[in-house]
Each structure stands twice: as C-alpha cells, then as structure tokens.
Amino acid sequence: MKVAIIGGGPAGLATLRFLAHAHEYFPIPPIQVRLFEAESQIGGTFSYRVYEDAELVSSKYLTAFSDFRLPDDAPDFVTPEVYVEYLKDYATNFNLWPMIECNTKVEKVRRGPNDVGHVISLRNKQGAFDWECDAVAVCSGINVNPVMPHIEGIERVPKVLHSSHLKSRDQFGENTNVYIMGAGETGMDLAYLAVTSGAKTVTLCHRDGFFCAPKIIPIPQALGRSTPTANKPVDTSVASLFDTAYAHPKLQKSQLLWTYYDSWIKNMHKFISGTEEGPDQWVGQMSPDRKYMDSILLCKSDKALPYMSVGKRSQSWGNRIRSFFMNVKIEDTKGKKIDVMTWPTSIDRDSNMQFDNKLTSDSTLPKEQLKPDVLVFATGYTRDFPFLDNDYPTVAQTNIREIYKEGDVTLGYIGFVRPSIGAIPPLAELQAQLWVLHLLQHQYPKEVPTVRDSNALESYNLDYRLHPRGNYSFYETKRAVDHESYAYQLALDIGSAPKAGSVMKKG
C-alpha cells in the first residue's frame, strides 16, 4: 500500500509515524509512505508563522505526543523554536526522515483511473512529477489564507497588515496609534507586544467579547500575601475520570456537567478576582446568550489583561472588601494601558475610527487616538486546499469523527479540530491512529480484523462538539470540540479505552 501525507507539521508527522510502523503491529507488508512538505523544513506553522516572545499556549505535558515526551528540563510552555526542535527529534527517534520530502509542493490531487486510488502531482527543485498512491492524508491547509475583514475606509490607514506578517515589536513603529483587530490568543499576544513597544497608544477591538482562561492557574493572594506554591498549567487540571471516562452515557450527554462547569468557573473567577470573565478581566464582556462554557473557545493568552483592566476594576465597597481578603495578583503596568473597544463600523474621511456599538466597559478614546497609524488583523485564517479536485469531500463533510467521509476512508483530514482547553497535536495523534486503523481494515480486512480486545470498552457516541449559542457556532466555523470528550471518543473508537476492571487489575 502507498500513502501520501501532505504537510510536515505535528499532524503530518504523527500520521507518518503510525503508517511507517504499522507493519510492526499487524501482519501486513510495510507501507510505502511519503510525506510532502512545501517548505524547507518540518514544523508547519510553528516554523513560519511565529513572532517575537511567542510561546505555546498548551503545556509540554499535554502538547507532547504520547510515546515521545518533551524533555523534563523544558519549561512548562516552550517556544515555537523549541517545539520545532522537538518535532525534529521525534522524526529522528522513529526514523521518519527517509520518508520526508521537503521543498516539495503538492500541486494537484485527483482520483486515479476508474476512481481507484489517487494521483499526486508534485513539484520540487528537479521539476514536476506524478505519484500514484492508495490513500492521502491531508495535514496542511488550516493556517494558509489570512482573513482580513473589510472595514469601510481601511485604505486611509497608513499601515495595515495581518498577524502572519508581524514578527517583532519594531513593526509597530515609534509614537504610533496601534489597533489590534481580534481578541483571540494571537490578538492578545500582539496587543502585549504593542504595549511594550514604542507605540504611543494601543487599542484592541473585538466583535462580541472574549473569555480568558489563563494558561497558568492563577493562585490568589490571601491578605495580599503571595503563596510559595508554584502555579500549574491549566490544561493539567482538566480531569476526565468520571467526567468523560467511565461516566454514564446519559450523564455525559446531558447538560448537567456543562452547567456545573459553567457555574464553577464563573463563580471561582468572581471569588478570586471580582469578575466572572477571566481572572482580572474587566473588559470585553460577551453577550449573555453566548457566554456559556459549552460554546466558547477560551483565550489562554493573558499577558495583555493587566493593561486592559487599568482603570476598569470595580471600586465598589463589596469588591474592595473581597480584594482585601482574597485577590489575584495585580501586575504593575508601569503606567501603560491597552484600550478595548468593540469592532469599528468604518473609518471616516478624516481617518478616524467610528464606533457605533459600544459596551459599558469600552474605553473613551481621545480624538487623537481615533486615527490609527498601524492596524493589525489578528483574525485568523480560512482553510484552503487548492490542490484537491472538486470531487473530494470537504472538511465540513467529514462525518466520521471529523476525519473522513463515510465510504471514502482513503482521504483523511488530520489535525482540523480545535479544542477549547487543550492542544491540537495530541488530538491529531489520536485521529491519526483511528484513521490508520480504519484504512488498514479497509485495505487488509483479513489481516486487520475489527474484533475488539476483551478488555476494551464498547464504543458509544459522546457529546464532544461545542454547542451553538447566540448565533455563534465554533464547531461549524472551527470544528471546535471539548478536548477530553473528543479524545475519549477517539480512544473508544480505536479500542484503547480499557474497562474499569482491567484498570483495577493493573493496580
């Protein structure tokens, strides 16, 4: 069997690892696998779409693959550069380099003769060539085309760029009015870069609020005293036992658990910081009809938050009393601040931003700040697969665990889900395992049976997709999932979720 993998990021490497070693676990011939990467090195977006002071928002404990961990002496949150070196070590450890072809662009993927197999049209330094194969794993295309929403009058701004083109603080200029458009993790990172640069003012604009869940668990100060306990990454605090794992299916599918988590998170935030949004988040409130934990993608970048909350913290007697006894540490911003506004409706003829829909927490901007000198869109990307023929299913049509379309297992999309709290690489690793298993069962039905191990739980459907609320559906737009629920769903499908009795026997 021949398999092509498109993309040399974490998803592509994980898929390559399981395909390349499948013959060690099943009585099948070695699979001929070729991974095609258009750039000069592996790493994907971690190699080419990074900026100054960037670090991963998921911890090394969760981000690393299950059978090859990040070094013990690595910090909890590594830089993209360190992560790319880890991916290279992963390729070395599993002897994947002979199957990786960098500087090789996939120009076209089409069905083979009589709709059997696939034909890959490629181009490298030696020229163009075709390769016929039995299956294709698409692991590239999620962060390709920058999204730059139109704002009437945008041509009046002297400097407009997308976050993918911003690499360092000096691009903000000196004594400038900087606008960051978007309140996701990249937007928050860039707002922090801007406020610690030579910019005169920094304004962050959002469409309908945001909800911060810092990547490090905030430990509140009691009576103003710091605790010696080291803060832990928030993604290490998410436990699946008796929540997704070994929870009764009716309980897991009910709204009860989400109601509990929603209440717990909001009340704890309010207890330790006075606001039910992110700890010390006094701006950017979401609409009440969509501010619910089962529907939102939490923002895990919080370096900019202290600058946003300057002058916005409640001065009520109740909050003063609460903060005297218990409060998160308030960072010293040294007089700097980030103003927060809702999305502008236009830019007028005098080059001033026009804001019609305001929140009570929005800043009151002086007239001179309404005229942007630098505007950065941190508005993400659209998925794009220009190399795929039109008769292939799209990501939206993948109805088998968001990986492939039923009846068309030979084309798989790996790494195209986004967890609310979690990391894409470990989910891509599980997706790769399930896709490879189903592909082998399709190609080698006798050698790779569908019989489950007697110690494995039977699979059933979990409620792992984020729910639509308030005219927003992050599942529809970003394939957003609950990390633990989706991971457990894949484990059940693979047959790697053991029965409780089997676990107890292991001690």
* 41 phi and psi angles, rounded to 5 deg: -150, 165
In a domain, 218, yes or no: yes
In a domain, 239, yes or no: yes
In a domain, 107, yes or no: yes
The owner of tokens 């395992």 is 433
In a domain, 484, yes or no: no
- Which pLDDT score, from 0 to 100, does residue 228 have? 58
Q: What is the pLDDT of residues 1-22, one digit of tens each?
A: 999 999 999 999 999 999 999 9
**Choice among 31-35, 117-121, 206-210 with the minimum mean pLDDT:** 206-210
Distance CA 1, CA 373 (A): 56
In a domain, 410, yes or no: yes
Q: From residue 232, give the alpha-carbon distance in Å to each of 75, 77, 300, 421.
A: 12, 11, 13, 14
In a domain, 330, yes or no: yes
Instruction: With both helix axes pointing from N to C terminus, report the angle between 424-443 and 10-20 in degrees, rounded to the nearest 10.
Output: 40
Q: Are residues 289 and 325 in the same domain?
A: yes
Q: What is the pLDDT of residues 428-486, one digit of tens each?
A: 999 999 999 999 999 999 999 888 888 999 999 999 999 999 888 999 999 999 999 99
SS3 440: helix
Distance CA 217, CA 231 (A): 6
Domain end, chosen from 377, 405, 429, is at: 377
Query: Across residues 172-176, what is the average pLDDT?
Result: 97
- For the chain, the helix, strand and coil percentages under 3-state DSSP, each to the nearest 5: 30, 20, 50
Q: Are residues 208 and 297 in the same domain?
A: yes
Instruction: With both helix axes pointing from N to C terminus, report the angle between 10-20 and 80-93 in degrees, rounded to the nearest 10.
Output: 10
Contact 280, 328 (CB under 8 A): yes
Q: Are residues 309 and 394 in the same domain?
A: no
Q: Are residues 30 and 126 in the same domain?
A: yes
CATH number of the structural domain spanning residue 118: 3.50.50.60
Distance CA 11, CA 479 (A): 16
Q: What is the pLDDT of residues 313-334, one digit of tens each?
A: 999 999 999 999 989 988 899 9
Domain end, chosen from 399, 416, 450, is at: 450
Q: Answer left, alpha or beta for residue 288, where phi above 0 means left and psi between -120 and 50 means alpha.
A: alpha
What mean pLDDT value characterizes the chain? 92
Q: Are residues 115 and 170 in the same domain?
A: no
In a domain, 467, yes or no: no
SS3 80: helix
Q: Are residues 13 and 152 in the same domain?
A: no
List own/partner pairs for 308-312 with CB under 8 A and 24 or more apart.
Answer: 308/191, 308/204, 308/281, 308/282, 308/283, 308/284, 308/337, 308/338, 308/339, 308/340, 309/280, 309/281, 309/282, 309/283, 310/336, 310/337, 310/338, 311/337, 312/282, 312/283, 312/361
- Model-level pTM? 0.93
Query: Across residues 345-374, what is the average pLDDT?
Result: 90
- DSSP sequence for 109-132: EEE-GGG-SEEEEEEETTEEEEEE
Domain that holds residue 427: 2-144+383-450
Q: Are residues 177 and 54 in the same domain?
A: no
Through-space distance between the first and last CA atoms of the chain, rounded to whole angstroms: 40
Q: Are residues 335 and 292 in the same domain?
A: yes
Q: What is the pLDDT of residues 17-59, one digit of tens each?
A: 999 999 999 999 999 999 999 999 999 888 888 899 999 999 9
- Which pLDDT score, from 0 to 100, does residue 229 have? 60
* Residues linked to residue 377 through DSSP beta bridges, in sequence order: 162, 181
Burial 181-210 (b: 16+ CB within 10 A, else e): bbbbbbbbbbbbbbbbbebebbbbbbebbb
Q: What is the pLDDT of residues 381-430, one digit of tens each?
A: 988 899 999 999 999 999 999 999 999 999 999 999 999 889 999 999 99
**Choice among 209-213, 219-223, 466-470 with the minimum mean pLDDT:** 219-223
Domain end, chosen from 357, 377, 397, is at: 377
Q: Are residues 251 and 207 in the same domain?
A: yes
**Into how many domains does the chain fold?**
2
Determine whether 237 is exposed, middle or buried from the number of CB atoms within 10 Å of its CB (0-12, 13-18, 19+).
exposed
Nearest residue to 166 (alpha-carbon basis) of 145, 191, 141: 191
The alpha carbons of the chain give a radius of gyration, in whole angstroms, of 24
* 382 phi and psi angles, rounded to 5 deg: -105, 145
The owner of tokens 């979401």 is 286
Q: Are residues 80 and 222 in the same domain?
A: no
What pLDDT band is residue 227 in, cutting at 50, 70 and 90? low
* 381 contacts: CB under 8 Å, gap ≥ 6: 142, 143, 144, 145, 146, 147, 164
- pLDDT tops 90 at residue 362: no
Q: Are residues 72 and 192 in the same domain?
A: no
- Which pLDDT score, from 0 to 100, does residue 168 have? 95
Amino acid, res. 48 = Y
Q: Are residues 208 and 64 in the same domain?
A: no
What pLDDT band is residue 230 in, cutting at 50, 70 and 90? low
In a domain, 462, yes or no: no
- DSSP sequence for 239-292: --BTTTBT--HHHHHSSHHHHHHHHHHHHHHHHHHS-SSSTT--S-PPPTTT-S
